[in-house]
Amino acid sequence: MITIIILLILIAISIRYYKENFNYDYWKIRNVKFLKPLPIFGNYLPAFLMQMSTGKLLEKIHRHYENEPYVGFYIFNKPYLLIKDPKIIQSILVKDFTKFNNRSTASVIENDFIGTYSLFALKDTEWKVLRSKVLPFFSTKQMKLMFELITDVGEHLNEEIKQIYNKKTNIFETKDTAGKFASDIIAACVYGIPPPNEFLQISKSIFEPSVIRNFELNSFFFMKIFASIFKFTFIGRKATNYLRMLFWNIINTREMEVQHNSKMKQDNFLNFLIELRKNKEISLTHDKLVAQAIIFFTAGIEGPATAISQGLYHIALNSNIQRRLRKEIKQALADNNNELTFENIKELPYLDACVRESFRMAIALPFLDRQASEDYKVPGTDLIIEKGMGIFISLYGMHYDPKYFPNPNKFDPERFLTNKSKLNQFAYLPFGAGPRNCIGARFANIQVKIGLINVLKDFQVEAAKKIDEPFKAHPRGFFYTLANGYDLRFKKDDDIND
């Protein structure tokens, strides 16, 4: 009898706890269209079970209630709002940025100095001060200095492709080749070192889809209690330990060198940060300094590598696009003594359009997120976004929305040329927008352009095997990762008739 009473009490307590902590009436009360949630998991079960990627889930939510400006949903017991209307997106990211200046997914997690101290995660005044101090490194002057380093790496890429061409197989896997190219650039421009052999493998350990990494990242973004219990880190323990040790050694060596020089040459990002430590306006501890170096490692490799590899595959499938792009590249080289400069690379409009289209179709981090710092009335509606509410924007939802990009699964650079004036700039957000946009957007853009130029200036590319389109995201990839890799084959100009 006592056992039954205790059991009934426990059931009653469990029911009360569930009702108090898993109340799914939040959006219904506010008359906001929402996806019907499941008990415990809300709308997140497919991503939690790795049946689809988080980015794909947010895109699926975006597709619901086509004519609504926003949709409510739940990640476990927590309500979130997904914004679909470009005007509201503009208000949140730009016009009313001060009310949404922090990321909803960022928080202090013990034992994860990268997730806590990086520019990606910092909040409020600390973020504002650090960004203002780091921004000069990405100025036009600095981009010009780094352009030569990037073109040197591009020439090495061209030589590697020539070696592949001379092999009997003459086939290369685009993601690995593009990843090595991007990691070599990061080594040169961001850290001022020859590329370590481990760089590409470390990058793969961060981004390649796996059950463990998916659970780590889900914990970091949405289940922080697990991140604390299991001591998960944003980039994984292996990558954290390796990069932390590598950068500490570099920093210690250069700080010793500074003792013999009045000023360190600021030709790479790490030297720039070391000099920045002398600034009394900002507290840049060893861990904070390393966190910035590591976050640019992660952002500077995966994003450009994804855009280059997927862009090349689309170009390989579209002979007219490839013919026009190669003609523009070869003409520009012929007009400039076979050299490209920071200035004349801007005079390649079709290349620019192809790069923009590549970034539309392939973004490593598939969403933007913000958190309301105060109650906020959504312009043109009666909805009040309450303080603390998390806001999401699905980049794949926006970029593949036929309202803004007709025939969205088609690789069509023309949409950034003849139809450029019709494009809604807040429907195209590969680097975000507003004060918290991607600080390295121009750097990434140059990387991708130099990569494509050095592949296509001497070679035509064709698909070694056909992949079903549209490209499918790997269900275990938290970041955007293709479900299948793809191979390209080269043909030299001497082998073909243009």
Which DSSP string do the residues of 65-98 spell out, in sequence order?
STT-SEEEEEETTEEEEEE--HHHHHIIIIITGG
Please give the single-letter amino acid code of residue 347: E
Q: Does residue 274 contact residue 254 with C-beta atoms inside 8 Å?
A: yes
Cα distance between residue 291 and residue 116, in whole Å: 8
Task: Provide CB contacts within 8 A for 37, sequence distance 6+.
Answer: 24, 43, 73, 74
How many other CB atoms sit within 10 Å of the CB of residue 105? 18
In sign, the C-alpha dihedral spanning 197, 203, 206, 211 is negative
Cα distance between residue 231 and residue 248, in whole Å: 21
Q: Does residue 468 contact residue 458 with C-beta atoms inside 8 Å?
A: no
354 in a known ligand binding site: no
Which among 169, 452, 118 has a CA at the least distance from the CA of 288? Answer: 118
CA angle 358, 360, 365 (to 5 degrees): 100
Which among 456, 488, 152 has a CA at the least distance from the CA of 329? Answer: 456
Cα distance between residue 207 and residue 185, in whole Å: 18
34 in helix, strand or coil?
Answer: strand
How distant, in Å, are the alpha carbons of 275, 374, 411, 466 from that of 462?
A: 47, 53, 15, 10
Q: Which residues pair with 313 in a beta bridge?
A: none
Burial of 432 (0-12, 13-18, 19+ CB in 10 A): middle
Which segments are annotated as binding site? 438
Which segments are annotated as binding site for heme? 438
